[in-house]
Amino acid sequence: MKIIGLGKGIPKECVTNDQLSEFLDTNDEWIVSRTGIKTRYVCVGETLTDLSATAATDALNKANLSAKDIDLIICTTICGDYCTPSLACCIAERINARCPAFDINAACTGFIYALELADGFIRVGKYKNILIVSAEKMSAKVDWNDRNTCVLFGDGAAACVVTEGESVKYINLSSSATPNTEVLNMPNGTGNSPFAAEKKQNEYLNMQGQKVFKFVVNIVEAELKLMTERTGITPEQIDRFLLHQANKRIIDYTLARLKQPAEKFPCNIERYGNLSSASVPLLLTEMTETGQVKAGDTLLLCAFGGGLTAGTCVMTIDS
């Protein structure tokens, strides 16, 4: 499989840390020093379908394809505009695609899970051109009274078109064996069921930051070790490590453990915050747009998050 087009869709409204401190007991110094985040984009009038359709159209244009050339749409999200129709179906309607379309939920790891699925479909010859859209509207999912979480996230979408090719060399997916629901979750409620023993409303995202931090630094290290064992590719042979943009300190910790230079770990967390499953593909899109990823480069993509899930992909960039 190979990527032949990448695109993005970002809300217009950019919110600074200082703007958050106008209604929340927080400050720019805390947020920047603990996370690396300076701004995030949030939807004001845009729906997630709007952002996703923009990203999808951008990716199709870059791939020189139209919607009718797409055989399948896979969307990764935990924030779809509707429970049903899926975000993938909303995108299909908007861009006028007539192919199967569905969403998957692997939280922040979603894009790597989607790559694995797409790779499988393409390998068995079921579909040729697949559109993957990773899109999140976390502003609708966090509690804006909770400074532990709301400062961390933002909204945005990224998309890619994949087709037959040889550039994806390795994908590994994992989910933690131990129960981890309590450290990172977003509970659904009971609706107005008259039969539910205990009435529960939908809740906002809950996260025990330090526990998740520990899981993440360990799983990233384990994922990278496993990749080297299975492929023989060493960290020195990777040109760029595109890690999920959850916290700059996680990225700094990882590059120090691997003894690799900081230039190999590009970041956009300072502008976007954590975009859940859209983080890694957005970073890949921007790196490609700015020429910081170029033909011949070997990239490692690694994402992690709710589940707790993790996933790694190694790919080369075709000319």
* Catalytic residue set: 108, 244, 274
Asked if residue 254 binds ligand COA (CB under 6 A), the reply is no
Asked if residue 57 binds ligand COA (CB under 6 A), the reply is no
Q: d(Cα 174, Cα 242) in Å, to the nearest integer?
A: 18
Piece of the chain touching ligand COA by CB under 6 A; list 45-53, 205-213, 229-237, 265-273: 205-213
Smallest distance from ligand COA to CB 195, Å: 33
Asked if residue 283 binds ligand COA (CB under 6 A), the reply is no
Position among 43, 138, 159, 212 found at the interface with ligand COA (CB under 6 A): 212
Smallest distance from ligand COA to CB 138, Å: 9
Asked if residue 5 binds ligand COA (CB under 6 A), the reply is no
Smallest distance from ligand COA to CB 25, Å: 7
Number of residues that bind ligand COA (CB under 6 A): 19
Q: d(Cα 140, Cα 312) in Å, to the nearest integer?
A: 28
Q: Which of 17, 34, 29, 37 is nearest to 271 (CA)?
A: 37
Asked if residue 305 binds ligand COA (CB under 6 A), the reply is yes
Asked if residue 169 binds ligand COA (CB under 6 A), the reply is no
What is the pairing mode between strands 309-316 and 168-175? antiparallel
Position among 34, 38, 94, 128 found at the interface with ligand COA (CB under 6 A): 34
Q: Which residues between 170 and 199 bind ligand COA (CB under 6 A)? A: none
Position among 134, 254, 274, 312 found at the interface with ligand COA (CB under 6 A): 274
**Cα(first)–Cα(last) distance of the chain, in Å?**
14
Please give the sequence-ordered ranges of beta strands (E in DSSP) within the chain, or none if there are none.
Answer: 2-9, 13-16, 39-42, 72-76, 101-104, 130-137, 155-163, 168-175, 184-185, 206-207, 240-243, 298-305, 309-316
Asked if residue 247 binds ligand COA (CB under 6 A), the reply is yes
Which 3 state secondary structure label does DSSP give 45?
A: coil
Smallest distance from ligand COA to CB 219, Å: 10
For 173-195, b where at least 16 C-beta lie within 10 A, e where not — what string? bbbeeeebeebbbbeeeeeeeee
Q: d(Cα 221, Cα 272) in Å, to the nearest integer?
A: 24
Q: Which residues bind ligand COA (CB under 6 A)?
A: 26, 30-31, 34-35, 108, 147-148, 151, 209-210, 212-213, 216, 246-247, 250, 274, 305
